[in-house]
Structure 1
Amino acid sequence: MPESQPAAPSVLPAFLRRPVALWCGFALVHAVLIALNLSGVGWPLGDVERVYLGWAEGTTSGAVRLGIDTDFVYPILALAPILASLVFGAPLYALTWLGLVTVLNAAAFAVLLGRRPGRAACLAAWWWLVFLLLLGPVALARIDAVTAAVAITGLLVLRTRPFWGAVLLSIATWIKVWPVAAIIALMVASKRRWQVLAVFAGTSALIIGAALVAGSGLTILSFVTEQTNRGIQIESPVASWWLVQSALGIPGAVVYYDQQILTYQVIGPGTDLAGALLTPLLAVCVGLVLLIGWRAQRAGAAAAALFPPLLLALVLTLIAANKVGSPQFMTWLAGPLILGLVASPRAWRAPALVALAMAALTQVVYPYFYNYLLATEPALVLVLTARNVLELVLLGWMVGRIWRLCSTTGEAVVPAGNPGAAWHRSIIKE
């Protein structure tokens, strides 16, 4: 087995590695984000105050049972944070939502730091705080923020408690689907893949069983058809083709508001065909990424080296090859990048910087200048297109990294004293 290499030199001053500094940074960043949500430009809490609150009140009044006898756009566990935020009443719903997400983030932050955080964990923690700040209000104001926190916690818990880590990732998947990428990546990278599958299947069976007892029938799976029936959302990478045409004054491409899905979409020559092709294309792209990952695993690539880039590649594929696109999708990147920074700070520093740029560009578009994007102003279309191009660049980077692992054999090199070493010896043990 190759010897562990020394930990990368810290880029953080000593005082920034102290727990008190880290937690003060956490409190400050979340205070800023909460203030921006409550008093910032562009109604960033629109989904929370208009959509989530309506769902919560309709469910508690008995008017609807989302996911049971009424189709629901999200998996059924999404109702848990949506209903929990009503505990102090409708007037305080938004503030309760922001508090709930902050608490979940704090739990993930505590797991990341542990009792005595190492240099890599401190670097990852500060990166996450900067990422949240650059992403802006939407980092807290969507259901994706809940799944991001639960997924980050699950990925980190895998290091020491693989069973509970897999359970948390399964629960996150039943809040919003994207964390299933972590389960699938583990199925490829880990030799304990059948244990991972058993945990996911068992957790899912309990959730589905409870819904069936409540009378859901196949409505429990309505979130699948609700997503496939969508048009092309304006922030998806493929929509850039029509947004650019509109920005250049080429007739035919129009931005409109879908009253059923409650999102802005684009329509123009070829959008119907593109919308029909994108779902199977997404499946093909995911399959190709998994095939490359499987090839690397069969070639002897260490699971600790394979899992983080494979997970990030899958998450980026779910974003880049999707006809649905929203600013909150950027929160999905946090978990894989935190995992990478903890395991190998040097190798993941540059991808983490690219993600920071993506977060900053996203906040420029939403919420501050979103109306200009809806009017397809050239400057905003350019900003969004640049963000989407960076998604493709980062995806290609991760696929290239996985491809290079096809010639790697033996154990991964994990810095001594790094929490990633514990993770390496757990769920993805060779």
Structure 2
Amino acid sequence: MLWLLTAGGRPELGGGGVAREVWRLYHHWYGILAHGAFPAHDPLWQYPPGAGPVLLAPALLPGLTYFQAFVVLTLAADAAVTAALARAGTRPGGSLRGAVHWTCGLPLLLHLPLARYDVQVTALAVVALLVAARSPRACGALAALGALVKVWPVLVLLGLPKGRATRSALVRAAVTCAGALAVLAALFTHPFAFLREQGGRGVQIESLGGTALGLATHAGWSGAARYRYGAMEFTGPYVDTVARVSLALTGLALALLLVWRLRAVRRTPATTYDAALSAVLLFTVTSRVISPQYLIWLLGLAAVCLTSRHTVQRPVTVLVLVAAAVSSVVYPVLYGQVIASTWTGCALMVVRNGLLAAAAVLSFVRLWRATGPLTAPLAVPAPARAR
């Protein structure tokens, strides 16, 4: 992966666009953050205020360029995830499959994980899950910190046991979030500037809705892909309708997860892990945006599931691995084909998003069945004996 960073300018690797986000965009934001302000009025800034300290962190390594320091810190987060998974795998009832899954799965995304800060966010979510059984409060604090960087880590709290554990985690998460926000608001101006830009996002070409619109271009649809809000999005007729459908599906996913939590009566040592993977998968496939770095989150959560021999998500983790491999072909290798909605680009998106959709459905069904009430077999009356 490090070698691919140095060779990223080759045409077969997308011409160098992967690493450009760090040394150009992240470094630009670093300059603004270093002066005590979040990038207000910047349509590319769509991240919660917790992202600020992450982008400032490379300053902790003097003597290195911003890009070099960022990669070193990402590798450190990668090592922390691997160590946490390996330690969990050596506990009673554990398995080292989780550490293997992460170590072998991450390079399927080529050099992308080293040029985004999603590994750092995933590290917070992974550790939060792995400490949940011993310390729900620590789980809540780590999940809150992760949510302040990118919102999705809050979903790891969904599968905590009902009662005291959930209450402790939620209280600690709320306290941590409020305290961190107060500190960030005191140190930086415009901490909530991201809300305006996030709300304006449309349908990214790599989302499920984007896949449908890409196929529609071959049936005469007049829309096209444009660079907006830091991503390639479709513009044209019916795009707003597709965006509203995506939001409705996200709401439906949330409702299903809440129904599951109310209905669940059985648990295994892996239920907290399985629920986190299922929730993030559902929110990912219903999103208006499915960036390739989202696969980093899914690989990390799938690896956590595999640290337990009790998980019901093993088939799902295989689908996530395959989806990650296809994602690296989508971006950066053949991203031009995806942007142009050629038959090749559309086929890639159908396969990648089909795998993610199948993983989401399978994950939720297996979670539902594993935690629902046991159904007693119907009593069949014995035939009467002939006298």
Please tell me the TM-score bracket, short chain as reference: 0.7 to 0.9
CA 1:197–1:251 in 2, change beyond 3 Å: closer, same or farther? closer
Deviating above 6 A after TM superposition, structure 1's stretches of 4 or more consecutive aligned residues are 67-71
Q: Does 1:361 align with 2:326?
A: yes
Deviations 1:102-152 (A, max 9, x none): 101111222222298369442111111111011222222212221012211
Who is 2:368 aligned against?
A: 403
Who is 2:191 aligned against?
A: 220
Q: TM-score, normalised by structure 2?
A: 0.86
Q: TM-score, normalised by structure 1?
A: 0.78
Who is 1:125 aligned against?
A: 99
SS in 2 for 1:399: helix
Who is 1:425 aligned against?
A: none
CA 1:116–1:125 in 2, change beyond 3 Å: closer, same or farther? closer
Q: Does 1:288 align with 2:256?
A: yes
Deviations 1:325-378 (A, max 9, x none): 200011111233122211226743322211110100001111111122112221
CA 1:278–1:249 in 2, change beyond 3 Å: closer, same or farther? closer
Who is 1:55 aligned against?
A: 29
Code of the residue aligned with 2:198 in structure 1: it is: Q
Q: Does 1:271 align with 2:227?
A: no
CA 1:147–1:103 in 2, change beyond 3 Å: closer, same or farther? same
Alignment of 1:26-41 (within 5 A): 33-40=1-8, 41=13
CA 1:80–1:93 in 2, change beyond 3 Å: closer, same or farther? same
Give the whole-Å Cα distance in 2 for the aligned partners of 1:103 and 1:88. 12
Who is 1:256 aligned against?
A: 226
Could you tell me whether the CA contact under 8 Å between 1:190 and 1:303 is conserved in 2? no
Give the whole-Å Cα distance in 2 for the aligned partners of 1:294 and 1:225. 34
Who is 1:66 aligned against?
A: 38
Aligned with 1:149 (options 123, 126, 141): 123
Aligned with 2:297 (options 307, 326, 332): 332
Q: Which has the higher contact order (CA 8 A, sep 6+)?
A: 1
Q: Which runs of 5+ in 1 are unaligned?
A: 1-32, 410-430
Q: CA deviation at 1:176?
A: 0.7
Code of the residue aligned with 2:257 in structure 1: it is: V
SS in 2 for 1:114: helix
Could you tell me whether the CA contact under 8 Å between 2:77 and 2:123 is conserved in 1? yes
Q: CA deviation at 1:70?
A: 8.0
Alignment of 1:125-274 (within 5 A): 125-186=99-160, 191-214=164-187, 216=189, 219-246=190-217, 248=218, 250-258=220-228, 261-274=229-242
Give the whole-Å Cα distance in 2 for the aligned partners of 1:172 and 1:346. 24
SS in 2 for 1:343: coil
Code of the residue aligned with 1:254 in structure 2: it is: A
Give the whole-Å Cα distance in 1 for the aligned partners of 2:152 and 2:232. 21
Who is 2:282 aligned against?
A: 317
CA 1:115–1:126 in 2, change beyond 3 Å: closer, same or farther? closer
Give the whole-Å Cα distance in 2 for the aligned partners of 1:257 and 1:283. 27
RMSD: 2.6
How many residues of Structure 1 are paired with residues of Structure 2 in the alignment? 366
Deviations 1:190-227 (A, max 9, x none): 651110111101101111221333475xx434434422
SS in 1 for 2:290: coil
